[in-house]
Amino acid sequence: MVGRSFATSSNFVRRKEQTKLYSETASEGVTMKHIFIINPVAGNGKLQETLEKTIHLELKDRKIDYEVYITKSEADTRNFTELKCKENVQAVLYACGGDGTLHEVINAACSYKHVSIGVIPVGSGNDFIKNFKNNINFNDINLQTEGENIELDLIKVNNEYAATVLNIGLDADVAFNMNKFKKIPFIQGPTRYYLSILYSLFNKLGKQIIVETENGVINGSFLIGVVANGQYYGSGYKCAPKAMLNDGILDLCFVENISRLKILSLIASYKKGEHLENPKISKYVTYDKIKQAKIKFDEPTNVCMDGDKFIYNEVNISAEKNALNFWLPKGVQLQSQSFGDNYS
């Protein structure tokens, strides 16, 4: 049954039936609870009211046990999520926000195997869902409740988990430096972002990094570095075109520190995922498939995970196979990697 997307006003049909958890760990016939955890500031705070109304409109007359919660902070997101997990009820916890909201829900819930984690993408980037075909269905409440559980991988970074990408270097600095323009009147999100890019470009570029993996050691000054589970980050940058969310392997992509004049041509290819094929760019790129890594910095360094910000001197990274019980909406499938399935 196709229902009303919270972003559209298409007609919908109500169906009076209970939703079952589709997973090997669920008991046959167990009724699911659907818990919608809404970040009110995601997507500039414009969709919270619309989403909340759509959830109630779609589900109020169906025999579905559901709950809507509006979060107060990142810490509150984690606390509420863990509280729901400890109720020991079969449930789907929907992270209603961007990749950062998903990050918070995953870190609170991924160790509880009786719950599944879903996504309703109302953030500004929503890069995680770009790894799926028919991802418009993530916006349909009825197709969400008719979904199924699948197992996906996670990146473990010290004691934290990431669903999509860990990144360091220029793009991480841009994310951190946006706060410098936050309190300036009349400067909104997009303007803050571009000002932060300019500010970051005219500060020191390149991070001195040592990367130790099972395949060897990389040592040098790098403009950008990512360890990826998914293909996208940064609102559509295809940093890891060979990545898969369920292959038990992480994709490492490091770009050498280059001149500011070359950065513009690099970024254009990098965003499209062409940096491995373009010979003018690929000569600056180190790309590898790994299962674990240790990254050492020569000073405390800005690190982003799923858009959330951290500062580390060193990170220990591992691929966590099938660590995430993910709730897949009806009609959605995983994308295959861009370079075919026979890459080794």
pLDDT value at residue 44: 72
> Do 93 and 198 lie in a common domain?
no
> Do 171 and 293 lie in a common domain?
yes
Q: Note whether residue 5 is domain-resident.
A: no
Q: How do residues 222-281 score in pLDDT, each as one tens digit?
A: 999 999 999 999 989 999 999 999 999 999 999 999 999 899 888 889 999 999 999 999
SS3 labels along the chain: CCCCECCCCCCCCCCCCCCECCCCCCCCCCECEEEEEECCCHHHHCCHHHHHHHHHHHHCCCCCEEEEEECCCHHHHHHHHHHHHCCCCCEEEEEEECHHHHHHHHHHHCCCCCEEEEEEECCCCCCHHHHEECHHHHHEHHHHHCCEEEEEEEEEECCEEECCEEEEEHHHHHHHHHHHHCCCCCCCHHHHHHHHHHHHHCCCCCEEEEEEECCEEEEEEEEEEEEECCCCECCCECCCCCCCCCCCCEEEEEEECCCHHHHHHHHHHHHHCCCCCCHHHHCCEEEEEECEEEEEEEEEEEEEECCEEEEEEEEEEEEEEEEEEEEECCCCEECCCCCCCCCC
Pick from 50-64, 115-129, 223-237, 327-341: least confident = 327-341
Q: Note whether residue 222 is domain-resident.
A: yes
Q: Note whether residue 77 is domain-resident.
A: yes
Q: Note whether residue 10 is domain-resident.
A: no
> Do 294 and 165 lie in a common domain?
yes
* Residue 43: band (very low, low, confident or very high) from pLDDT cuts 50, 70, 90: confident
Average confidence score pLDDT of the chain = 89
> Do 88 and 219 lie in a common domain?
no
Q: Number of structural domains, the chain?
A: 2
**pTM for the predicted model, two decimal places:** 0.88
* Residue 6: band (very low, low, confident or very high) from pLDDT cuts 50, 70, 90: low
pLDDT value at residue 14: 32
Domain CATH code at residue 181:
2.60.200.40
pLDDT value at residue 337: 53
> Do 175 and 314 lie in a common domain?
yes
Q: How do residues 100-119 score in pLDDT, each as one tens digit?
A: 999 999 999 999 999 999 99
> Do 202 and 105 lie in a common domain?
no
Domain residue limits at 139: 33-147+329-334
> Do 253 and 304 lie in a common domain?
yes
pLDDT value at residue 343: 32
User: Per-residue pLDDT averaged across 279-303, rounded?
Assistant: 97
Domain CATH code at residue 116:
3.40.50.10330
> Do 100 and 59 lie in a common domain?
yes
